[in-house]
Amino acid sequence: MMNKGLVDIALFLEPVDTEGLDYIRITDCDHWCVGMRPDDPLAVRKMIEEINAFQA
Predicted pLDDT at 23: 82
Which residues, including other chains, have CB under 8 Å from residue 21's CB and lie 6 or more apart? 2, 3
Predicted pLDDT at 17: 84
How confident is the prediction along the chain (56 residues), in pLDDT tens digits per residue? 666 777 777 777 778 888 888 888 877 666 777 788 889 888 888 887 765 555 55
Predicted pLDDT at 51: 57
Predicted pLDDT at 21: 82
Burial readout 20-53 (b: 16 or more C-beta within 10 A, e: otherwise)? eeeeeeeeeeeeeeeeeeeeeeeeeeeeeeeeee
| Cis check: omega of the bond before 41, within 30 degrees of 0 | no
Predicted pLDDT at 42: 83
